[in-house]
Amino acid sequence: MNILTVSDNPLSTSGVAQQMKLIIDILEPNNKIISLSINETRPVQVTQNWGVIYGGKSEKEKQNILLQILENEKIDYILFMTDPRFFTWIMPIEYKMKALCNNIVYYHVWDSYPAPTFNKGFYDVFTHIACISKLTYSNLREMGYKNISYVPHTLPKEIYQIPLEQRPRISPKFTVLWDSRNMFRKSPACAIEAFSIFHKKHPNSFLIMKTDPILAEGCDITYVLSHYGLTENDCLLIGAKMSLKEMNDLYNAVDLVLNTSLAEGFGLSALMGLKTGKMVIAPQIGGLQDQVDNKVGFCVKPDFSYNFASMAAPIIYFEFVKPQTYAKFLEQAFYFSPERRDQFGKNAIKKYNEIFSNEIFENNWKNIFVEDYAKRQSEFKNFVNIRVI
């Protein structure tokens, strides 16, 4: 098959990019792949079989590039992945797309209830929607969609639990890792305040923050750390990009992974914690609920929520856990013996292997691109010959 993917550049470092690259690795051996990047400024040839193509700036340019690829390359399948807000430009060309390719898949996640009925016009474009979280699947079921499936994320094979005697250590203290983008939705200041409350009672603790120190959509991390009295003896801030090996070493070097997001479709930092056998503390929201339970750590019930409405999403709830609440759970984890924390880690790896493994991820996508393709070809056999005028 000829498959067109449309997403972030699969060679970039975003979570979307990482997952799309994993999907491409599954599909590439038996298919021709073309990757249309919505954040790439120039063509990049990756291998002999697939490359990244500049996706355009204006909506009109994006539409023209997409339709041109569909017509010239005789695409059998289109796979879209990212936030619906970035793809509003495809709705006006829905029928032109379907005249050239009648198999259009969306790899999708939504952060909260209630079901986003305001997205219906967008969802109707797709012939299949693969849902990253159970919450997303439930929302789409409620909206009446049938051609949907539950396809949670996975991680590269380079991420794994290092044997105890070989694990690196960054600090001899009880070490907490916060690894997220520096932005409001990820709530880095909450993580810092929570750790500072905990640290005052338990100074034999250490915080690692893997994030950009300053971003316009976030905060000045160094200022916030200073405000709460945390010094280089208490915290390490890592802003540099890291290889998969370095990331694996980092996760293996800590005792616990903390996620403090206000809204989270999935939460790859939690999944990294599961696969490397670490306790995870995360809010009971979005896709984090699929990963974290009382067998692998603490899934923390939000203290309050509110509708963070916008023009694109008039109903979408952000859910808050107070720093004091996170601090209490950090203290509970601190008091656990190393053996008990190790049991949480074993449970975490077991859960990863049962739900999120590479094999399950691969089978899910092969089912969509083989079984669903055959079904769609049969349903649309009289539709594919329509020409775009």
Backbone angles phi, psi at 211, to 5 degrees: -170, 165
The helix (H) or strand (E) run that includes residue 283 is strand 279-283
What pLDDT is attached to residue 389? 35
- From the CA atom positions of the chain, what is the Rg in Å? 22
Name the band, by pLDDT with cuts 50, 70 and 90, for residue 387.
Answer: very low
What pLDDT is attached to residue 374? 67
Report pLDDT digits (tens) over 185-231. 999 999 999 999 999 999 999 999 999 999 999 999 999 999 999 99
Alpha-helix runs per DSSP H in 41-159: 59-73, 94-100, 120-123, 134-142
Higher pLDDT, 356 or 55: 356
Name the band, by pLDDT with cuts 50, 70 and 90, for residue 382.
Answer: very low
CA–CA distance, 40 with 101 (Å, rounded to integer): 24
Q: Which residue has the tokens 């994030």?
A: 211
CA–CA distance, 185 with 218 (Å, rounded to integer): 8
Annotate 224-251 with b (16+ C-beta within 10 A) or e (fewer): bbeebebeeebbbbbeeeeeeeebbbbb
Q: 3-state class of 149 per DSSP?
A: strand
What pLDDT is attached to residue 333? 98
Q: Hey, how many other C-beta atoms are within 10 angstroms of the C-beta on 295?
A: 13
Beta partners for 175? 206
Backbone angles phi, psi at 271, to 5 degrees: -65, -40
Q: Which residues, 6+ apart, have CB-to-CB distance to 149 below 8 Å?
A: 128, 129, 130, 131, 137, 364, 367, 368
What pLDDT is attached to residue 386? 38
Name the band, by pLDDT with cuts 50, 70 and 90, for residue 56.
Answer: confident
Annotate 308-324 with b (16+ C-beta within 10 A) or e (fewer): beeeebeebbbbbbbbe
CA–CA distance, 183 with 128 (Å, rounded to integer): 31
What pLDDT is attached to residue 54? 76
Cα 226 from chain centre:
30
The helix (H) or strand (E) run that includes residue 79 is strand 77-81
Beta partners for 54? 37
- What is the percent of the chain with per-residue pLDDT over 90, rounded to a whole number? 81
Q: Is the pLDDT of residue 283 over 80?
A: yes
Long-range Cβ contacts of 15-23 (<8 Å, 24+ apart): 15/153, 15/266, 15/268, 16/81, 16/82, 18/156, 18/268, 19/81, 19/107, 19/153, 19/154, 20/81, 20/107, 22/154, 22/156, 22/358, 22/361, 23/79, 23/107, 23/365
Nearest residue to 266 via CA among 109, 382, 147, 61? 109
Q: Is the pLDDT of residue 273 over 50?
A: yes
Where are the domain boundaries for CATH 3.40.50.2000 in the chain?
2-154+358-379, 164-355
Architecture, CATH, for domain 2-154+358-379: 3-Layer(aba) Sandwich (3.40)
Query: What would the two tokens of residue 216 be?
Result: 């316009």
Q: What CATH code is assigned to 164-355?
A: 3.40.50.2000
Q: Which amino acid is at 207?
A: L
Query: What would the two tokens of residue 315 be?
Result: 């109903």
Q: How many residues does the chain have?
A: 389
Whether this model's pTM surpasses 0.75? yes
Query: What would the two tokens of residue 130 be?
Result: 């693969």
Q: Is the pLDDT of residue 287 over 80?
A: yes
CA–CA distance, 351 with 179 (Å, rounded to integer): 21
How far apart, in Å, do the first and last CA atoms of the chain sit?
Answer: 25
